[in-house]
Structure 1
Amino acid sequence: MKKTRRLLSLVLTLALCLGMAVTAQAASISYEVEGGKIYFNANTGTITGCDLSASRVDIPSEIYGVPVTAIGKGAFRSGLTRAKLEQVTIPNTVTSIGDQAFYDCEFLTSVVIPDSVTSVGKQAFTSCDALTSVVIGRGVTTIPREMFSYCESLTDLTIPGTVKFIDDMAFCNSGLTSVTLPDGVTQLGDMVFHGCEDLVSAYLPDSITEIGAGTFNYCYKLTDVHLPGFLTAIPTRTLSNCGSLEEVSIPRGVTTIHGGAFESSRNLKTVTIPASVTEIGLGAFQFCYALEDVWYGGTLQQWMKLKVGSYNQYLTGANVHFSEPVANLTDVMSNDYYADAVVWAMNHGITAGTSATTFSPSATVTRAQAVTFLWRAAGSPQPTSTVSPFKDVSDPGQYYYLPVLWAAQQGITSGVSADSFGPDLPLAYNQIFTFLCRAAGDSLVGSDWSSAAVNWARNAGLTDGLAFQAGRSCPRSDVIYCLWKQMAN
Structure 2
Amino acid sequence: MKNFNIVKRSLAVFVSMVMACSVTAISVTAAEPSQTQFPVAYAEQQGDFQIENGVLVKYTGSGGEVIIPDTVNSIGDYAFSHCKELTSVVIPETVTRIGNAAFYYCTNLTNIVLPDSITELGKFAFGMCYGLSNITIPKGVTTIHNWTFACCENLQSVVILPNVSKISQSAFDGCTKLTTVYGLSGTYPETFANENKYQFIDINEPFTDVAYGDWFYDAVVFVYKQELMTGTTPTTFDPAVPMNRAQFATVLYRLAGEPEVEYTPNFPDVPDGWFYSDAITWATENGIITGYDDGNFGTQVNITREQIVTLLYRYANYVGLDTSQRASLDEYVDGSSVSSFAKDAMEWALAVGIIQGQNNQGIIDPQGEAGRAAGATIFMRFMERYQM
- TM-score band, normalised by shorter chain: 0.3 to 0.5
TM-score, normalised relative to structure 2: 0.42
Compare the two structures and name the one with the higher strand fraction: 1
TM-score, normalised relative to structure 1: 0.34
Which structure's relative contact order is higher, taking Cα pairs within 8 Å and 6+ residues apart? 2
Q: Which has the larger radius of gyration?
A: 1
Compare the two structures and name the one with the higher helix fraction: 2
